[in-house]
């Protein structure tokens, strides 16, 4: 049976055709199912693909089922397209700021939005061969089934008229944009991450509902690409999961880029006025009308669980949090595991990746309690790819207070880091928390141009028990922005120079005169 691709990506140009050729070939014929599989994986995003490739590489008989496009949100409507659009928007922003660096142009940069989006589609297609159905089936030995999966019982999964029998199954169906129940929103029409990357024309005025990572990244990118963007946020702070000082730096920067913020604001209803969408926003008890051409929702993620018939397999779930799993990523059906956005609070590709590795180990090789790996053992960094980037790992000050953990905090502002000053990137800092009285790193926040790259040094230290004192002793090339991390180590070392130590050193040096 052939599976024509459900065409939900637009426009259908050469790049999107090439993409589909890899991740949902129009002439794909599902294989005949094996009598039984070691693992059947539902969902071909990062979590599912890594479980499938890893398990097959270890010799397991594996089937992977994908209802839409292999690659999942990350490749199709998430990380990859957003980072492409952000890259173009940064070029535009650098052009605008060029005079600060002594480079002058006449007038504004001419932004060809259609060309920006075409570049994104080309890059996405170029990267898609890695997740290709043919590669998985012919090179990696995974049986690829295109179609929607649902459980038919405790050991069977149905797809496209066939039943696949499994010893272990893995649910990796991801999440989608949550939709707010705002009166009139449905009728007025809105964009989500599933549709925004299909645009070929720039919305002149864009309202972004929500100021989490997705909202902030896309708000700043569209503003820099020439839209007039207003962010509407319920809370008084953007990036609610981050430290207030970190979020404030980004807030200030986005305001300078021209983004307008309505904070502490609730969208009560949406009406239309001809082609305009009118948001009725309540702030401080007063109504403000916000007239825009498009609305983008970035108000959180909702797990994809509805179509799975989880009840048939005895798998418990929560409509908001997704499939219920224990620390070993096992569901309430002991033969079924889950990984990625469908079950985890960390909704990142790298989190899905490392969860998938835990699932391979636990599903295939653990015996009873022996050899079982835990999700809670992971040290998880994350980053919001705005300018500047905001990256974090481990505990925040608030987490430490809530858990009653005593910490010392060291902060190195970028305004005192030579390379950041030379680059004109002085908005930002490196902040590291250590266990009080020790150099054991418990967490860090970095706000910097490349904070997402810089945070890995701290993550490496945390994962391997390397203390802040050792980071101080590690030579960093001069001048780099990452040298700020070594300088935080110096700040820690200075605290070891207590008055007593100093007195003894002075006596020793006096003796050596
Ligand atoms: C705009 C945006 C930007 C992002 N940027 C980043 C970033 O920069 N860095 C980062 O780490 N993360 C980022 N993320 C998050 C990242 O995309 C997700 O965390 C990641 O894709 C989760 O992987 P997953 O495998 O759990 O789920 P998904 O990638 O969602 O894949 C799930 C797959 O399951 C399929 N499926 C669902 N139901 C069924 C069914 N019944 N039968 C068969 N198949 C089914 C879906 O079609 C989908 O292909 C971003 C997300 C968005 C929306």
Q: Report yes or no: 259 and 266 within 8 Å, Cβ to Cβ.
A: no
Q: What is the mean pLDDT of residues 403-432?
A: 98
Using left for φ > 0, alpha for ψ between -120 and 50, and beta otherwise, residue 244 falls in: alpha
Closest Cα to atom 35 of ligand 1: 43
From the CA of 431, how far away is ligand 1's center (Å)?
A: 30
Query: What is the pLDDT at residue 432?
Result: 98
Query: What is the pLDDT at residue 506?
Result: 85
Q: Which atom of ligand 1 is nearest to the CA of 47?
A: 25
pLDDT digits (tens, 9 = 90+) for 108-157: 789 999 999 999 999 999 999 999 999 999 999 999 999 999 999 999 99
Whether ligand 1 lies within 6 angstroms of the CB of 176 is answered as no
Whether ligand 1 lies within 6 angstroms of the CB of 131 is answered as no
Q: Which atom of ligand 1 is nearest to the CA of 177?
A: 53
Name the nearest CA neighbour of 323 among 66, 47, 107: 47
Query: What is the pLDDT at residue 376?
Result: 97
Whether ligand 1 lies within 6 angstroms of the CB of 195 is answered as no
Whether ligand 1 lies within 6 angstroms of the CB of 230 is answered as no
Q: Which residues of 420-434 are buried (b: 16+ CB within 10 A; e: fewer)?
A: beeeebbbbbbbbbb
Query: What is the pLDDT at residue 7?
Result: 44
CA distance 430 to 460: 16
H, E, C per residue of 275-324:
CEEEEEEEECCEEEEEEECEEEECCCEEECCHHHCHHHHCCCEECCCEEC
Residue from 162, 174, 356, 375 whose mutation best tests the ligand 1 pocket (most atoms within 8 A of CB): 174
Whether ligand 1 lies within 6 angstroms of the CB of 212 is answered as no
Q: Which atom of ligand 1 is nearest to the CA of 339?
A: 26
Crossing angle of the two packed helices 451-463 and 483-495, in degrees rounded to 10: 50
Whether ligand 1 lies within 6 angstroms of the CB of 78 is answered as yes
Say if residue 1's pLDDT is above 60. no
Query: What is the pLDDT at residue 213?
Result: 97
3-state SS class at 508? helix
Q: What is the mean pLDDT of residues 377-401?
A: 97
Residue from 22, 40, 43 whose mutation best tests the ligand 1 pocket (most atoms within 8 A of CB): 43
Q: Any idea which residue has 């905001």 for tokens?
A: 390
Say if residue 325's pLDDT is above 90. yes
Say if residue 79's pLDDT is above 90. yes
Say if residue 5's pLDDT is above 50. no
List, in sequence order, every beta strand (DSSP E) within 407-440. 407-413, 429-435
Say if residue 442's pLDDT is above 60. yes
Query: What is the pLDDT at residue 22?
Result: 98
Place 2 in a pLDDT band, splitting at 50, 70 and 90. very low
pLDDT digits (tens, 9 = 90+) for 83-116: 999 999 999 999 999 999 999 988 778 999 999 9
Cα dist. 454→23, 402, 412, 439 in Å?
A: 33, 27, 13, 19
Task: Measure the CA angle with vertex 501, ends 499 and 506; round to 5°.
Answer: 90
Q: Which atom of ligand 1 is nearest to the CA of 176?
A: 30
Place 50 in a pLDDT band, splitting at 50, 70 and 90. very high
Whether ligand 1 lies within 6 angstroms of the CB of 386 is answered as no
Say if residue 9's pLDDT is above 80. yes
List, in sequence order, every beta strand (DSSP E) within 161-258. 162-171, 175-177, 205-209, 228-233
Query: What is the pLDDT at residue 309?
Result: 97
pLDDT digits (tens, 9 = 90+) for 175-187: 999 999 999 999 9
Query: What is the pLDDT at residue 422?
Result: 98
Q: What is the mean pLDDT of residues 312-321?
A: 96
Whether ligand 1 lies within 6 angstroms of the CB of 51 is answered as no
Q: Which atom of ligand 1 is nearest to the CA of 344?
A: 26
DSSP 87-149: HHHHHHHHHHHGGGGT---SSS----HHHHHHHHHHHHHHHGGGG-HHIIIIIS-EEEEES-E
Mean confidence (pLDDT) of the chain: 95
Residues 6+ apart with CB under 8 A from 169: 39, 40, 41, 42, 151, 157, 313, 335, 336, 337
From the CA of 344, how far away is ligand 1's center (Å)?
A: 12
């Amino acid at each position: 049976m052939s599976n024509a691709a459900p065409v939900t990506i637009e426009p259908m140009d050469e790049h999107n055709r090439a993409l589909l050729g890899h991740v949902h070939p129009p002439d794909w014929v599902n294989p005949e199912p094996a009598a039984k599989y070691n693992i059947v994986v539902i969902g071909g995003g990062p979590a599912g693909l890594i479980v499938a490739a890893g398990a097959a590489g270890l010799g397991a008989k594996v089937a992977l089922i994908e209802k839409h496009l292999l690659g999942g949100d990350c490749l199709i409507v998430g990380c990859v397209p957003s980072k492409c659009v952000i890259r173009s928007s940064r070029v535009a922003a650098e052009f605008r700021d060029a005079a600060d660096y002594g480079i002058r142009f006449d007038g504004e940069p001419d932004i060809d939005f259609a060309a920006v989006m075409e570049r994104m589609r080309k890059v996405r297609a170029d990267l898609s061969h890695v997740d290709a159905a043919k590669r998985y089936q012919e090179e990696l030995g995974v049986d690829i089934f295109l179609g929607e999966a649902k459980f038919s019982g405790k050991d069977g999964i149905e797809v496209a008229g066939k039943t696949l029998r499994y010893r272990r199954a893995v649910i990796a169906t991801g999440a989608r944009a949550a939709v707010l129940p705002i009166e009139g929103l449905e009728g007025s029409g809105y964009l989500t991450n599933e549709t925004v990357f299909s645009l070929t024309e720039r919305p002149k005025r864009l309202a972004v509902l929500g100021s989490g990572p997705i909202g902030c990244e896309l708000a700043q990118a569209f503003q820099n690409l020439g839209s007039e963007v207003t962010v509407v946020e319920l809370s008084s702070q953007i990036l609610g999961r981050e430290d207030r000082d970190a979020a404030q730096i980004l807030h200030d920067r986005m305001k300078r880029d021209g983004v307008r913020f309505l904070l502490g604001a609730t969208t009560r209803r949406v009406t239309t006025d001809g082609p305009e969408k009118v948001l009725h926003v309540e702030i401080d008890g007063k109504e403000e009308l916000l007239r825009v051409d498009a609305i983008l929702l970035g108000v959180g993620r909702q797990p994809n669980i509805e179509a799975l018939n989880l009840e048939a397999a005895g798998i418990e779930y929560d409509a908001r949090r997704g499939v219920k799993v224990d620390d070993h990523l096992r569901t309430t059906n002991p033969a079924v595991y889950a990984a990625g956005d469908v079950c985890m609070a960390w909704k990142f590709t790298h989190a899905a990746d490392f969860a998938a590795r835990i699932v391979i180990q636990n599903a295939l090789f653990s015996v009873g309690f022996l050899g079982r790996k835990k999700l809670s053992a992971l040290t998880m960094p994350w980053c919001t790819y705005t300018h500047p980037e905001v990256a974090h790992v481990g505990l925040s000050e608030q987490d430490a207070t809530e858990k009653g953990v005593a910490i010392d905090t060291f902060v190195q502002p970028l305004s005192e880091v030579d390379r950041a000053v030379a680059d004109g990137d002085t908005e930002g800092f490196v902040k590291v928390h250590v266990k009080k009285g020790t150099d054991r790193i418990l967490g860090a926040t970095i706000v910097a141009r490349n904070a997402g790259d810089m945070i890995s040094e701290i993550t490496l230290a945390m994962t391997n028990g390397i203390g802040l004192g050792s980071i101080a002793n590690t030579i960093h090339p001069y001048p780099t922005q990452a040298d700020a991390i070594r300088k935080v180590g110096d700040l820690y070392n200075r605290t070891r120079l207590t008055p007593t130590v100093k007195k003894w050193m002075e006596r020793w040096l006096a003796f050596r005169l």
